[in-house]
A and B are shown apart, each in its own frame.
Chain A
Amino acid sequence: GENVEQHPSTLSVQEGDSAVIKCTYSDSASNYFPWYKQELGKRPQLIIDIRSNVGEKKDQRIAVTLNKTAKHFSLHITETQPEDSAVYFCAGHMNTGFQKLVFGTGTRLLVSP
């Protein structure tokens, strides 16, 4: 089945620095890779996703890169701001007729002013 590993578990950066969070997955059939952001006490919300026919996707200060050969994908946040502080989750999705979305264990990002 699908297994998603996420690193690091915590990440502290100074405002203005870049942050990178990495995930690896086990199922080579996976073809959809979303990233969710969860602020303290709130529900997770989608911030960006990528499909397997694309190597990179950008949306303002956030980007996701996908390496299907190595089976890993990464979230990049540039020019970090204090409001970026949250827990970020990657997820992997199997396209075998199942509807299962399996999440990584999360990365707590702290951006210090």
Chain B
Amino acid sequence: KQEVTQIPAALSVPEGENLVLNCSFTDSAIYNLQWFRQDPGKGLTSLLLIQSSQREQTSGRLNASLDKSSGRSTLYIAASQPGDSATYLCAVTNLMNRDDKIIFGKGTRLHILP
């Protein structure tokens, strides 16, 4: 059964710093991995989607990498801003011949200090 873990559960960093959020998964038989942000009381906003054949994706100040063989993905945020404060979630889509098709981590709650 696929398990997705995000460590740390919470993180506070001063504004302007670069930071890395981690996502690990136990079964490498995935189709893709997606990173989201969730603001309090809101739905999820898609940030980046990495297909299993890709190593990384970039959007603006965000860069997500995927190492399928080691079961790890990282989300790199450059030059952090107070508006980046949110909970960041990763989700893996497993190959379709299994019941647990989409599994989310519990998220990392990020606070950027002004």
Binding between chains A and B = no
**Hey, which bits of chain B sit against chain A, CB under 8 A?**
none
**Hey, which bits of chain A sit against chain B, CB under 8 A?**
none
